[in-house]
Chains A and B, each alone.
Chain A
């Protein structure tokens, strides 16, 4: 079965810096999505990029997708303390099932 794998597992940066998280997967996908999870809370959809797209922006978020390398990156620019959370990539191949990565724990130091 395919898997999303994020790296790094944990990332700690200063407020105002940019945070980059990566995700790799193994099989063909329809789309790749990034979600955020605050500690002990639900999953919040951030952004979706389809397999025929290469880059997408939403506010301070920028997502890239390289289907030849089966990888994606999530960039958060000008990070804020409130961005502290775990970030997950999830790939959708068919039947609307999402296959999730293990997540990157992002800590923004004030």
Chain B
């Protein structure tokens, strides 16, 4: 089965620090997504990325967030100045090559803890 890889699996940071979460999505697909899940709460859409540009973003995805493809394969989510409420599990997802965009494959997530 196609695999989406995320690193690190856990990240602990101090409030106000910058964090970069990394994802290696399934290759040869133009759509990528970031979701997050605060402990005990719903999974929430953050941003979709199509052909190297942000396609859609939610209200959560404010100016503190950014996404990039620094080298054409890796896909990063940056939080510039973390807040306590940014503590969550962050998931990267992409459709599989040959699949429609409907079925997403998720990475195992990065657990971000902001202290």
Choose one: A40, A48, A101; the contact of B102 (CB below 8 Å).
Answer: A48
Given A31-B102, A96-B31, A97-B56, check contact A42 B44 (CB 8 Å): no
Given A42-B108, A42-B109, check contact A100 B102 (CB 8 Å): no
Nearest Cβ distance between residue B94 and chain A, in whole angstroms?
A: 11
Chain A positions 78 through 100: 1 when the CB is less than 8 Å from some CB of chain B, otherwise 0: 00000000001010100111111
State the total of A-B contacts with C-beta under 8 angstroms.
54
Indicate if B75 sits at the interface (CB-CB under 8 A). Answer: no
Which residues of chain A are within 8 angstroms of B48 by Cβ–Cβ distance?
95-97
Structural contact, A45 and B45, CB atoms closer than 8 A: no
Most central of B41, B89, B104 by chain A CB within 10 Å: B104
Chain B positions 88 through 104: 1 when the CB is less than 8 Å from some CB of chain A, otherwise 0: 01010100000001111
Residue of B nearest to A95 (CB): B56
Which residues of chain A are within 8 angstroms of B93 by Cβ–Cβ distance?
43
Structural contact, A99 and B104, CB atoms closer than 8 A: no
Structural contact, A100 and B103, CB atoms closer than 8 A: no
Given contacts A42-B108, A44-B106, 9 further A-B contacts (CB under 8 A): A41-B109, A43-B91, A45-B105, A48-B103, A95-B48, A96-B33, A96-B48, A101-B42, A102-B42
